[in-house]
Amino acid sequence: MYRLAFLLFFLLIRLANAQKVPNRKPAELRIPMTAQQWTYAPGQVEFIPSKEKGTTAMKIIKGPKSIVLNDVTFTNGTIEYDVELTGPGFPGINFRMDADQLNGENFYLRSFGKVTPDIRTTLQYASIVNGMSMWDLADEYQAGATMFEAGWNHVKLVISGRQMKAYVNDMSKPALIVPELESPALSGGISLSGAVNYANLVIRPDVTEGINPEAGYNLIDHDTRYLRNWLVSEAKPFPFGNEPVIGLQSTYAKAGPAQLPDSTTKWMPIKAEHRGIVNLSRHVARTKDEARTLAWLKTSIQSSKAQERVLHLGFSDEVWVFINGQFLYADKNYFGTPQQKFPSGRCTIENTTIRLPLKEGNNEILIGLANYFYGWGIVARLDDTVGIQLMN
């Protein structure tokens, strides 16, 4: 009788403990490369046997839309896949994509012939915001890697909260570390793109190699030279051929006053993001085919005396800079043209420098910003802030 009671007690303890074990996510999802698993346009994809990989591969024949994985929502974890480059392009993976495919994260390779690890533009991370890739506002998130022009390449992404490590072929060392993923979407779908072959897609939910989910350390967080607080106007169509009237003067004639924002202009506060970028793309939805658009940004600088400072300015794609109502500077940064700024038409603090004549007291900086191509924004930093107070 005592033995029976003991066994019943033991079984009850086991049952109680079993009920306390939470429902665990599967340790590994091996995604079949079959038609039933994916959503795509007719004629966009073929599923072919791969003798080298010993499995079925997905052959993407044409774009431009991504191939969407069905019935999988990804938040954190590890994603691995093999990719065989079959021609020039930007093969990559989107993850945490929202339902309308307008916001998410993108990691991709650049496939344009033979590369070596010292070529910095071999791979890139870029957020997708309002349907637009922010690659031209994310110059910091490029890196080199060993990539095989012929044969298969292995990619592993480890994502935890706001951080990501990306490995390409060499699994002992990440090719790229992203300290702060920038899409507003924290969970969502997965899709593949590029005219390449994919195989062996494996997802391990919540396997994050101990990466802290909080954003990593930001080197410029405490740099007081960045102009971080601005006001932005409403954006308006600005067809090519149009230019703001800037009120230039000469010895012989006067063009008239500049046509700048006035008392009727509506302004909205906008702050620089963690890399110092003032990203208008988050506030104005655009498409790649949409015409040129113009918005105005303004901020103020209090100076303890009349002095000249140097303004380091990055921008995409065109700027017109004014100080205290007077025209100061205009420039263009068109990717892929002779007018593109270093580095390669991307928006970085290295794009240009402007001598900024400050008077004693308040100085208003006004920038007209036009864009027609991908990410839209500026980054601005003074050479020094002695005797300077920036707008809060």
Task: Give percent above pLDDT 90 in the chain.
Answer: 75
pLDDT for res 283: 86
Q: What is the mean pLDDT of residues 336-363?
A: 95
Q: Which two tokens stand for residue 176?
A: 């790229």
CATH number for 29-205: choose from 1.25.40.10, 2.60.120.560, 3.40.630.30, 3.40.50.2300.
Answer: 2.60.120.560
Matching residue, tokens 């004549």: 357
Strand, coil or helix: what is 109? strand
Q: Is the pLDDT of residue 248 over 90?
A: no
364 closest CA partner among 237, 227, 240, 271: 227
Could you state, in order of their start, the residue ranges of all structural domains in the chain?
29-205, 229-390
Strand, coil or helix: what is 193? strand
Residue type for position 184: P
Assign 350 a pLDDT band (cuts: 50, 70, 90). Answer: very high
Sign of CA dihedral 293, 294, 299, 301: positive
Same fold, 29-205 and 229-390: yes
Residues 6+ apart with CB under 8 A from 338: none
Q: What is the mean pLDDT of residues 264-278?
A: 96
Q: What is the mean pLDDT of residues 215-226?
A: 94
Q: What is the pTM of this model?
A: 0.88
Strand, coil or helix: what is 234? coil
pLDDT for res 6: 46
280-305: per-residue pLDDT in tens?
999 876 655 668 999 999 999 999 99
User: Cβ distance 126 to 135 under 8 Å?
Assistant: yes
Assign 172 a pLDDT band (cuts: 50, 70, 90). Answer: very high
Q: Is the pLDDT of residue 44 over 70?
A: yes
Q: Is the pLDDT of residue 99 over 60?
A: yes
The CATH T-level fold of domain 229-390 is Jelly Rolls (2.60.120)
183-212: per-residue pLDDT in tens?
999 999 999 999 999 999 999 999 999 999
Q: Is the pLDDT of residue 120 over 80?
A: yes
What distance in Å separates the CA atoms of residue 143 and residue 166, rounded to the nearest whole number?
A: 10
What distance in Å separates the CA atoms of residue 347 and residue 378, rounded to the nearest whole number?
A: 7
- Residue 391, H or E segment: none
